[in-house]
Chain A
Amino acid sequence: MTRYSFLLYVAGNTDRSKAAEANLRFLCDALVPGTYEVEVIDAGERPDLAEERSVLATPTVVRLAPPPQRRVIGDLSDHGRAAVALGLPNHEKLPPERQ
């Protein structure tokens, strides 16, 4: 089974950071339940890690696995587009967008 591995870069414990993490986990739980991992990196605490991957914008999601690597920036509030951009399977099965 394909395992999904994500790095989520955020800047501080802000509403935007929390929204991005919640949205990412929501998508994974819906589309790749049980077969994913998310590591959250606070660029404010670990600027070296942001430097290492040349991250400018926050939030930024880096899909490490499966290859190829992908990046998406933003808080992922548009689930449909976020699922496509992250290359998650079965994204057409997502429930209709909540308002």
Chain B
Amino acid sequence: MAGSNPIERIPTGINGFDHVALGGLPAHRSTLVSGTTGSGKTLFAVEFLSRGITHFGEPGVFVTFEETATDIRRNVASLGFPIEQWEGEHRWAFVDASAGIGDEAPAVGAFDFGALLARIQHAVRQTGAQRVSLDSLGAIFTRFADFSTVRHELFQIASTLEDLGVTSVLTAERPEEYDGVTRYGVEQFVLDNVIILRNVLQRGRRSRTVEIVKFRGAPHRTGEWLFTIDPQDGIVVVPVAFLTPSGHASLERVTSGNGKLDEMCGGGFYRDAIILISGPSGTGKTLTSLRFVSAGLAAGERCLICTFDETQEQLFRNAAGWGLDLKAMRDSGLLRVVSGYPEEASPEDHFLRLRRAIEEFAPSRLVIDTLSALERVVSPRSLFDFVIALMAVLRQKEITTVLTASPTGRLMPAGTSTVTGEIAGLADVWILLEYMERVGEIRRAITVLQSRASAHDQSVREVTIDEAGMRIGDPLRGISHVLRGTVGTARLWPDTEETEGP
């Protein structure tokens, strides 16, 4: 029975999904979850019940047409769902309608699914279930020749579930991506609420998305949202999984590790700031971020470095060249390094790995060097999502973060707006490192392009790098760009010659 409030929701508890659904599934109604083989339908159905039990204390009934109850218990044990224990506590009940022996019965004359309905009602009453999952409807069609009867009977089941007042998830197969909603026209009877899970190859990489096609009378976010299936966390919809309402903004300043840079930024970075350092290789991005880390360590703060394209050993060697003994810092327990190649995993998995490291290690400072490496394996949209997701976690935990990016990624044709430019728009501080030509010689230059809610130095200053590290000099004048280092330079930096220091 529908509640009087037409948009009453039942949060699924599935990581991130309820953000996309703006609260959850329509309460006391059936929602169709449709997808191709391997799209995560069964997991969605299982998690809907499991999270109901663990997060909301709501018992559930799982009606399985395809896999046996034994298979499901075993398959989800690794996610930490103790289904057998819940069954013992009468919080979970199976209605096992999987094809078994003696089930290949010929049909002679009219029939209905009265027995199945009775079994479901019985299980719902016995457990006091508020959630029911049916997985998957396609399997039942393969067992009965008369599709129109099956459709009609499934409609009966869906409406009985609504009469029982439970919220249910019904899964169904799609023959292929982007072609209709389901095989067998299942959508005809639960068209009110439809979710599609997709599993497609994009640029040689598997990409999973979830899309809410419709919720009757209830708003929801539109479009396809990336998700991953994590061995520990199950379905995780990125990037919205960890968005939380932003709290207060920190007014505390922390040092960048370079006094002059602190000055340029108006007195250091805010503690909850996200800083983007962009520039071609050799301009001092890694050096700047390592100085930032060593300043943190000197202040007794825990620091996490995440490198792509560089092993821990390579990083330590480079740092030693600048007089930084990272190994000793790591051994002190204050520094942790996570390294890996972008190709090893999907962006969602990189995100989860990083989030886990952040949660376990609880750093005060984080460096990601370099974000651009990820551009090789993901679309700009995915990288953008990745950064948004990360920022949500970082701001909430007030972790001062330096992200580096180089303009050498193949997605960055000179002079066009790229993902770095978009990410810069989200960062609190954008530090540009560039090569400059002046009277026939190439020099390095630094500028701080934005520092949200903070007065800062807008001049272009010369940078020199020596064994002592990076020295920031006086404002440069009369310079021109030799290497189109940075994206959007022309737009963001139109009047270099006229810019004055403070």
The reply to whether B107 and A73 form a contact with Cβ atoms under 8 Å apart is yes
- Of B104, B105, B119, the residue contacting A47 (CB under 8 A) is B119
Q: Which residues of B contact A74 (CB under 8 A)?
A: 107-111
Evaluate whether A57 and B102 lie within 8 angstroms (CB atoms) in the complex, with A47-B118, A48-B122 already known: no
The yes or no answer to A16 lying at the interface (CB within 8 A) is: yes
Give the distance to chain A from B466, nearest Cβ to Cβ, in Å: 78
Evaluate whether A58 and B108 lie within 8 angstroms (CB atoms) in the complex, with A50-B119, A51-B95, A51-B122 already known: no
The reply to whether A69 and B102 form a contact with Cβ atoms under 8 Å apart is yes
Sorting the interface of chain A by its residue count into under 10, 10 to 19, 20 to 34 or 35 or more gives: 35 or more
Count CB-based A-B contacts (< 8 Å): 103
Q: Which residues of B contact A9 (CB under 8 A)?
A: 115
Give the distance to chain A from B497, nearest Cβ to Cβ, in Å: 81
Across the two chains, which residue of chain B brings its CB closest to A80? B108
25 A-B residue pairs with Cβ-Cβ distance under 8 Å, sorted by A, are A16-B112, A23-B109, A43-B119, A47-B118, A47-B122, A50-B118, A50-B119, A51-B96, A51-B119, A54-B96, A54-B100, A57-B114, A58-B112, A58-B115, A71-B102, A71-B103, A71-B105, A72-B106, A73-B108, A75-B111, A76-B108, A76-B109, A77-B110, A82-B109, A85-B108
Give the distance to chain B from A59, nearest Cβ to Cβ, in Å: 6
The yes or no answer to B97 lying at the interface (CB within 8 A) is: yes
- Of B102, B111, B119, the residue contacting A59 (CB under 8 A) is B111
The reply to whether B106 and A57 form a contact with Cβ atoms under 8 Å apart is no
Q: Which residues of A contact B112 (CB under 8 A)?
A: 11, 16, 57-58
Q: Which residues of B contact A55 (CB under 8 A)?
A: 115-116
Q: Which residues of A contact B116 (CB under 8 A)?
A: 50, 55-57
Q: Count residues on chain B whose CB falls below 8 Å from chain A CBs.
A: 27
Q: Which residues of A contact B108 (CB under 8 A)?
A: 72-78, 81-82, 85
Using a CB-CB cutoff of 8 Å, which residues 435-481 of chain B contact chain A? none
The interface bits of chain A over 3-21 (1 if a CB of B lies within 8 angstroms of the residue's CB, else 0) are 0000001111000100110
The reply to whether A54 and B97 form a contact with Cβ atoms under 8 Å apart is yes
Across the two chains, which residue of chain B brings its CB closest to A62? B102
Give the distance to chain B from A49, nearest Cβ to Cβ, in Å: 9
Q: Which residues of B contact A54 (CB under 8 A)?
A: 96-97, 100, 103
Give the distance to chain B from A80, nearest Cβ to Cβ, in Å: 9
Query: With contacts A16-B112, A43-B114 known, what are 19 further pairs, Cβ within 8 A?
Result: A10-B114, A11-B115, A12-B114, A19-B109, A50-B115, A50-B118, A50-B119, A54-B97, A54-B103, A56-B140, A57-B111, A58-B112, A59-B111, A69-B102, A73-B105, A75-B110, A77-B109, A81-B108, A85-B108
